Structure 1
Amino acid sequence: MTDLLPTAAPGETPVRVMTIAGSDSGGGAGIQADLRTFALLGLHGCVAVTAVTVQNSLGVSGVQTIDPEVVAAQIRTVTSDIGVSAVKTGMLATAEIISAIADACTEVGIGGGGVPLVVDPVCASMHGDPLLATDALDTLVGRMFPLADIVTPNLDEVRLITGVDVVDADSQRAAARALRDRGTRWALVKGGHLRGSDRSPDLLFDGDDYIEIDGPRIDTPHDHGAGDTLAAAICSALAHGYSMPDAVVFAKRWVTRGLESAYPLGAGHGPVNPLWRVG
């Protein structure tokens, strides 16, 4: 499979996608990582901003959420004019914002068998800083998972959502089943944070079949935005009509290349680097 997606000819309108997520002022994760991936894969990225974080390579020191109706209005306004072929979500911040997003997505045909929807259930930053209100997790699962074509939690988020601590292949399968039981069409349980191997086995599950998507573990401390980048690449491939398994395989190759070329930034963790694409 190629590492790149088809791109539009000069002057031709590219495929359009949307990220519904928070802004990272340090540029490593969030909307910034999503737009970087969309652009370098040749897609036009639209946004619905849910929150503005005060953030650098060392962590998050502040969060300002956006009015839920303003978030929903961004979704309605973009889809009614520009149109999108796939959508991903990231930091959704509060129960009120999540409910407004779910209502808007249902209204305009995102998710639920319509426009493909990738839900990355962001709960905390890589430094452990909370990015989801404590009372919002049930709303995230109850409102967004039934709309989702796929959910892409990291292992900490898997544990929060399902109570399953993923430590081996059996618990990875149990977690995939538990996620699928919460309403999503496909569940992806990533293996990048499993230790004790030089491999990073992700597991994709649709309720019937388990598909293992293997790859090398990249030894780097600079992995800020890896989850956002993976979900954005899945979204991009789905927008081009890829099947879900092919979209996940493509995205894993994309984020692996980004980890291989990750760079230091500031005094903390540097970002996954899809700029290899222009090298």
Structure 2
Amino acid sequence: MIFPQAVTIAGSDSGGGAGIQADIKTFQERRVFGMSAITAITAQNTMGVQAIHPVPVEILAAQLDALNDDFTITAVKTGMLVDVTTIDTVVSRLRHFSWGALIVDPVMIAKGGAPLVSEDAIATIREKMLPLASIVTPNIPEAEALAEMLIETNAQMETAAKYIQKLGVPTVIIKGGHSQDSEESRDYVLDGDTSFWLDARRIETTQTHGTGCTFSACITAELAKGASMEYAIRTAKAFITSAISQPLGIGNGHGPTNHWAHRKEHQE
């Protein structure tokens, strides 16, 4: 039996709450061996992003080639891809690798509001990454950028998901954490011809750094193990809800989620 193996292609978060750090922690919690290809080094903490240094594309390509030469990878996710050159490098490799499901988390804006990709990178994600993807997991601001429309209602979430799906990605999840609903966080899932809503009680907290990374990483881990798309999505929703509901209280700003919170729930 080959142990499940997954890769995250994303930026490094020096604060440990998001990016490849959050992804690897999530892979580990879901019993999947995690690997990474770093696209950028960031200087950040719970207060915000202080600096971003893109990794030279030659080094990024070398990381990806090294992984492909030695591991049996069954799922891969992307996070912060920084700029067009980085995206083109990732796309050129993924087109020729057999790495199973591709989960695109279109990381564009940090929790504190700092932009994490260049303007022209958004169009490149739309045109080149999404046609390769199995699933894309934007939050509302990211979905607005991808669908080029305003999203303020459930109906608009559904319309945006259909637009994004037509860009070539079969499964779209628009996460509702940024909605104005004070009672629930509603995610809309469009999986092929099937659609459904994922509801969770909204938790009032500032400890939400890395929620998008963690959610998409959990989906990646489950798909790496051979789970169905719906099972992977529902498992990820439960996982991130637990991680948010049991905060660690780390840092002075948007603190990280609790990646091992689900263990306590299973013990109770």
Same fold (TM over 0.5): yes
The number of aligned residues is 264
The residue that corresponds to 1:22 in the other structure is 11
**Deviation digits for residues 146-174 of structure 1, max 9, x if unmatched?**
00000001111111111222222111101
**How far 1:179 sits from its partner (Å)?**
1.0
Q: What TM-score do the two structures reach when normalised by structure 1?
A: 0.91
Q: Is the 8 A contact 2:32 2:225 kept in 1?
A: no
One-letter amino acid matched to 1:253: A
Moved more, 35-44 or 187-196: 187-196
Counterpart-to-counterpart distance in 2, 1:246 and 1:13? 21
- Give the one of 11, 15, 33 matched to 1:44: 33
Q: Secondary structure of the residue that 1:48 maps to in structure 2?
A: strand
Structure 2 residue ranges without an equivalent (≥5): none
Q: Tell whether 2:139 aligns with 1:149.
A: no
Question: What is the alpha-carbon root mean square deviation over aligned residues?
Answer: 1.4
Q: Secondary structure of the residue that 2:119 maps to in structure 1?
A: coil
Moved more, 261-270 or 230-239: 261-270
Q: Tell whether 2:73 aligns with 1:88.
A: no
Q: Tell whether 2:112 aligns with 1:127.
A: yes
Q: Is the 8 A contact 1:177 1:207 kept in 2?
A: no
- Give the one of 220, 232, 247 matched to 2:232: 247
**How far 1:278 sits from its partner (Å)?**
4.6
Q: Secondary structure of the residue that 1:108 maps to in structure 2?
A: coil
Q: Is the 8 A contact 2:30 2:222 kept in 1?
A: no
- Where in structure 2 are the equivalents of 1:119-198 lying within 5 Å? 119-198=104-183
Structure in which a larger fraction of residues adopt strand = 2
Structure 1 residue ranges without an equivalent (≥5): 1-11
The residue that corresponds to 2:201 in the other structure is 216
Counterpart-to-counterpart distance in 2, 1:242 and 1:212? 19
Counterpart-to-counterpart distance in 2, 1:40 and 1:238? 14
**How far 1:201 sits from its partner (Å)?**
1.7
Query: How many percent of aligned residue pairs carry the same amino acid?
Result: 38
Counterpart-to-counterpart distance in 2, 1:255 and 1:268? 19
Runs of 4+ in 1 over 6 A off after TM superposition: none
Counterpart-to-counterpart distance in 2, 1:125 and 1:135? 17
**How far 1:212 sits from its partner (Å)?**
1.5
Q: What TM-score do the two structures reach when normalised by structure 2?
A: 0.94
**How far 1:207 sits from its partner (Å)?**
4.3
One-letter amino acid matched to 2:51: G
Q: Secondary structure of the residue that 2:151 maps to in structure 1?
A: coil
Counterpart-to-counterpart distance in 2, 1:109 and 1:140? 20
